[in-house]
Structures are given as structure tokens and as C-alpha cells.
């Protein structure tokens, strides 16, 4: 009879592959080896020196990943102390704030990381956009990124309701009212998501289920694939200067310690900032949700205030569905109609691209507030066209009034600057994005009671 041979241990197998002097002989060395192999599952063994430039990627993708990790860790602690039922949910938050070990700090960290994540993911998208890093072969990673951004907004929105305070209840009531404008299936969709005709106990349960399972699962699944694709697509795009004609020189260094050391310093620095912020600035919490007392004005969460502002200017079908739908579609399709590889890695494409970006920002900073004020005080489409359907008078006509100057502006850039396709895309995208940011700022800070325009500094102090 032959003796059953036991399977060699992991270390024995590694040892068999390594030269004798490469195998660490003590525990510390072996530990180090395990950590190093973990890192090298995420990163390649060598990276190109210029791809590590701070001022190229700004570490935004890494920061987004770190915030995701903080959200998952703090989320699990919150979940262990939280019941998704009204009014218990609110009482649990009070309990977390007062009686759970470091509960308030953990809640604050979750809240601020979630909000910062939206800003960071959008900045990361902008970086990828202005350096042309979405072009082949990275189209798929761009699409995955857009999906992750939408899911991040979903995670923030569903999380917003969970504290079950006045702020949560009314912001979600306003936010979800947009759903009913979806053509044909709006009513059904709203009923499905809210679990009833309006925000209530079922909505809380639905949002909780989505918040702690479906959405994080989808985000973390996509995130792993996003990272893998960065490697598969040949690492980060390489920074190039405006006048550089030939391809950048790919000088490489080992990931450990060069890249890992930078990542560690960056992550620790940001974590310290976040921790200090969360120690001193509490996540907001108002009185318990009261469906009978609506605040005036009732506003959606800040990241949807641009949309709420659009709704004040357009027929809901145009403001809430057509315009955002077109924007998301254009972002999805971007890598398929702007594929010039020459300027990948150059911030703003070219010298002319830089000037055009600045010009587009300046124009939008002037035009968007002007449009808001004119539309509030002067333009009154439905009064001018009383017999017209409001979809025409308040939707399609104002839309045309905006689109026609945009097309003329585009033609002007071609005639005046001899802009090529990629510079035109950059110009229009910068204009529209800046205008949307202006609308968001107007919605957050300059809309008072009844959602009419007001000057916050001129209001008498509230008692």
C-alpha cells in the first residue's frame, strides 16, 4: 500500500518556484510576501513613471475607491444598529449618535464620504474626459465608469431616506416625484419604487434593501472589473504636453515600492482630512419625519438640485426626462463618435482647446444665470402662447430657444477657431456642464420660499 501524499502547503509551493535565496525565512518576510502578492493582484509589477504624475490623474480614481471602502466598512457598523422601520429608524439614528461606541463619528464618516464620493467621481470623469482617456481601447471602461457614477447617485439617494428625519422624508418626496413624469410607465415605476402611492414605511424598506445589498453589490462588482480593465487596457493613459509630437517614453519602475508608497501617503493624507472633518462637522439630522408638515421650500438632495432647477424652467417631460436622458445618452456614446487618438493624454486636447474651454466656461457662467433671471421675471411662455399645449409652449419652444444659439455657437467655433471635432465636443460639453453646475448652485443657494429666486444674504435672520 502506498502512503497518501499530503498536498504541499502554499509556502512549499511558492518555495518550489523560487530560487533558495528568494524564499523568506522568517514570519515577517513571509507576511511581506503575502502583502506584496496581494498588491500585485491589483497592480502590474512595473508601472510607467509618467503615469504616476500627481498632476495628471490627481489620484481621483484611487480616492473614489478609498471612499467606497470607507462606505462599506462604516455601512456595516451602521447596519448592525439600524432597523428599517418607521419611526424606529429615526430612534436608531439617535441611539447611534449617543449610545453606540464611536457611533456618531462612524455615521459622520459615512455621510461625508458618500457626499464627497459624488464630487470625486464627477471630477474623475472630467479628468478622463479632458485628457481624452475614454477613447479606444478604453471605451468599455468609460461605460462602466458612467454606470458606477449612476449607481453612486442611487446609493446616495437611497441612503438619504434612511435617517427618516424631516430632511430625508421631504427631499425623497421631491426627488421621487420626478419618476411620475416618465412617459407611459411613470405611475407604475413610482408605485414600484415607493412601495405605495407616496413615501412611507414601504419606501423605507425598499430603499434600505437597495441601499445595503443590490446597489453596493453592483458597484463593487463593476469596480473590480473597472480596475481589471485599467490593467488590461495597458495601464493609465500617459500624460503628454501640448507641443509633444512623439509618443511619451515609457520608462518603468517597480510598483513596490514606487507606486505603493505614493498611494499609501495619499490615502493616509485623505483619511486624516476626512476623519478630522467628520470629528467636527456632524451629519445633518432634523426632527422625525412628519408627512403633514412640509418645509418651504422643499428641496431634493443637493446633487439633484440642477434637475429640480430645470423643472422650474421646462415642462416636466422635457426638464425631468428628455434633457437628462439626452445628457446621459451623449455621455454613454461619447467614446464612439470622438475617437481621435492623437491628443490622448493632453489636457484639453491642444492649445486652442485650452482657450476654447476657458471661453465656454466664461460664456456659460454669464448665460446660465441670465437665462434663470430672464425666465423668472421676463419670459412667460404659457402667457404668451395661451392656446398652445404646455408641452409646446413650456417645453419644446424654450428648448429650441436654447438649442439654436448652441448650434450657432458651435458653427462660430468652427469658423473662428477652425476647431476640429474633438475641440467642438470639448467646447459644447464644457458649456453645458458649466451651465448645469450654475443651475445646481442656483437651486441650492438662491431658491427660497415657494422656490422663487431670492438673495440669501438679504433675508432677515430666522428666529
| Contact positions vs ligand HEM (CB under 6 A) | 57, 60-62, 64-65, 68, 71-72, 75-76, 78-79, 82, 93, 107, 110-111, 114, 117, 121, 124-125, 128, 133-134, 138, 141-142, 145-146, 148-149, 152, 155-156, 159-160, 162-163, 211-212, 216, 219, 223, 226, 230, 236-237, 283
User: How far is residue 336's CA from residue 140's CA, in Å, rounded to a whole number?
Assistant: 10
Q: Which is nearer to ligand HEM, 141 or 394 (CB)?
A: 141
**Residue of 343, 331, 335 lying closest to 423 (CA atoms):** 343
Name the minimum Å distance from CB 350 to ligand HEM: 18
Beta strands in 132-224 (DSSP E): none
Name the minimum Å distance from CB 447 to ligand HEM: 21
Q: What is the Cα gyration radius of the chain?
A: 26
User: How far is residue 54's CA from residue 239's CA, in Å, rounded to a whole number?
Assistant: 11
User: How far is residue 294's CA from residue 336's CA, in Å, rounded to a whole number?
Assistant: 46
Which 3 state secondary structure label does DSSP give 102? coil
Name the minimum Å distance from CB 181 to ligand HEM: 24
Q: Which is nearer to ligand HEM, 145 or 316 (CB)?
A: 145
Give the three cell numbers for residue 460.
432677515
User: How far is residue 226's CA from residue 61's CA, in Å, rounded to a whole number?
Assistant: 10
**Residue of 160, 119, 174, 158 lying closest to 312 (CA atoms):** 174
Angle at 327 between CA 322 and CA 332, to 5 degrees: 125
The answer to whether the CB of 69 falls within 8 A of the CB of 42 is no
**Residue of 407, 433, 429 lying closest to 337 (CA atoms):** 429
The CB-nearest residue to ligand HEM is 145
Name the minimum Å distance from CB 428 to ligand HEM: 17
Q: Which is nearer to ligand HEM, 135 or 313 (CB)?
A: 135
Name the minimum Å distance from CB 307 to ligand HEM: 17
Name the minimum Å distance from CB 140 to ligand HEM: 9
DSSP state of 52: G
Q: Which is nearer to ligand HEM, 324 or 369 (CB)?
A: 324
Angle between the N-to-C axes of helices 421-445 and 103-130, in degrees from 0 to 180, rounded to the nearest 10: 150
Name the minimum Å distance from CB 329 to ligand HEM: 14
Q: Which is nearer to ligand HEM, 238 or 368 (CB)?
A: 238
Q: What is the helix (H) or strand (E) element at residue 374, kind and residue range?
A: helix 351-377
Q: Which is nearer to ligand HEM, 259 or 318 (CB)?
A: 259
Name the minimum Å distance from CB 120 to ligand HEM: 8
Q: Which is nearer to ligand HEM, 94 or 391 (CB)?
A: 94
Q: Which is nearer to ligand HEM, 227 or 446 (CB)?
A: 227
Name the minimum Å distance from CB 303 to ligand HEM: 10
User: How far is residue 211's CA from residue 218's CA, in Å, rounded to a whole number?
Assistant: 11
Angle between the N-to-C axes of helices 103-130 and 139-161, in degrees from 0 to 180, rounded to the nearest 10: 150
Q: Which is nearer to ligand HEM, 211 or 315 (CB)?
A: 211
User: How far is residue 285's CA from residue 270's CA, in Å, rounded to a whole number?
Assistant: 25
The answer to whether the CB of 108 falls within 8 A of the CB of 186 is no
Amino acid at each position: 500500500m502506498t502512503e497518501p501524499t499530503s498536498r504541499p502547503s502554499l509556502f512549499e509551493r511558492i518555495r518550489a518556484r523560487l530560487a533558495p535565496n528568494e524564499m523568506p525565512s522568517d514570519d515577517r518576510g513571509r507576511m511581506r510576501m503575502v502583502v506584496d502578492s496581494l498588491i500585485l493582484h491589483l497592480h502590474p509589477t512595473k508601472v510607467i513613471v509618467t503615469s504616476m504624475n500627481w498632476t495628471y490623474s490627481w489620484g481621483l480614481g484611487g480616492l473614489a475607491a478609498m471612499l467606497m471602502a470607507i462606505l462599506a466598512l462604516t455601512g456595516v457598523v451602521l447596519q448592525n444598529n439600524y432597523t428599517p422601520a418607521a419611526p424606529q429608524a429615526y430612534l436608531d439614528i439617535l441611539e447611534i449618535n449617543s449610545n453606540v461606541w464611536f457611533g456618531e463619528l462612524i455615521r459622520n464618516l459615512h455621510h461625508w464620504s458618500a457626499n464627497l464620493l459624488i464630487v470625486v467621481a464627477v471630477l474623475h470623469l472630467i479628468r478622463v474626459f479632458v485628457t481624452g482617456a475614454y477613447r479606444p481601447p478604453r471605451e468599455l471602461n468609460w461605460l462602466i465608469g458612467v454606470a458606477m457614477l449612476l449607481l453612486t447617485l442611487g446609493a446616495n439617494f437611497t441612503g438619504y431616506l434612511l435617517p427618516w428625519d424631516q430632511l430625508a422624508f421631504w427631499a425623497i418626496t421631491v426627488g421621487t416625484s420626478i419618476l411620475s413624469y416618465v412617459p407611459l410607465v411613470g405611475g407604475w415605476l413610482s408605485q414600484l419604487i415607493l412601495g405605495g402611492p407616496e413615501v412611507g414605511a414601504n419606501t423605507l424598506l425598499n430603499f434600505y434593501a437597495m441601499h445595503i445589498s443590490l446597489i453596493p453589490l453592483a458597484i463593487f462588482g463593476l469596480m473590480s472589473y473597472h480596475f481589471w480593465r485599467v490593467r488590461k487596457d495597458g495601464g493609465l493613459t500617459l500624460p503628454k504636453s501640448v507641443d509633444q509630437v512623439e509618443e511619451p517614453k515609457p520608462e518603468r519602475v517597480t510598483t513596490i515600492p514606487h507606486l505603493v508608497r505614493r498611494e499609501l501617503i495619499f490615502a493616509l493624507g485623505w483619511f486624516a482630512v476626512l476623519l478630522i472633518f467628520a470629528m467636527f462637522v456632524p451629519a445633518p439630522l432634523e426632527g422625525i419625519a412628519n408627512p403633514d408638515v412640509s418645509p418651504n421650500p422643499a428641496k431634493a438632495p443637493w446633487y439633484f438640485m440642477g434637475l429640480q432647477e430645470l423643472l422650474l424652467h421646462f415642462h416636466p417631460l422635457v426638464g425631468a426626462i428628455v434633457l437628462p436622458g439626452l445628457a446621459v445618452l451623449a455621455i454613454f456614446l461619447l467614446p464612439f463618435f470622438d475617437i481621435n487618438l492623437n491628443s490622448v493624454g493632453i489636457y484639453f486636447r491642444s492649445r486652442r482647446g485650452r482657450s476654447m474651454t476657458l471661453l465656454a466656461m466664461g460664456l456659460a457662467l454669464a448665460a446660465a444665470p441670465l437665462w434663470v433671471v430672464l425666465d423668472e421675471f421676463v419670459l412667460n411662455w404659457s402667457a404668451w402662447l395661451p392656446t398652445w399645449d404646455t408641452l409646446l409652449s413650456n417645453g419644446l419652444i424654450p428648448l429650441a430657444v436654447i438649442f439654436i444659439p448652441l448650434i450657432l455657437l458651435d458653427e462660430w467655433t468652427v469658423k473662428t477657431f477652425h476647431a476640429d471635432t474633438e475641440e467642438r465636443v470639448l467646447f459644447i460639453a464644457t458649456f453645458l456642464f458649466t451651465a448645469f453646475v450654475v443651475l445646481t448652485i442656483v437651486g441650492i443657494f438662491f431658491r427660497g420660499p415657494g422656490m422663487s429666486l431670492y438673495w440669501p444674504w438679504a433675508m432677515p435672520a430666522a428666529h
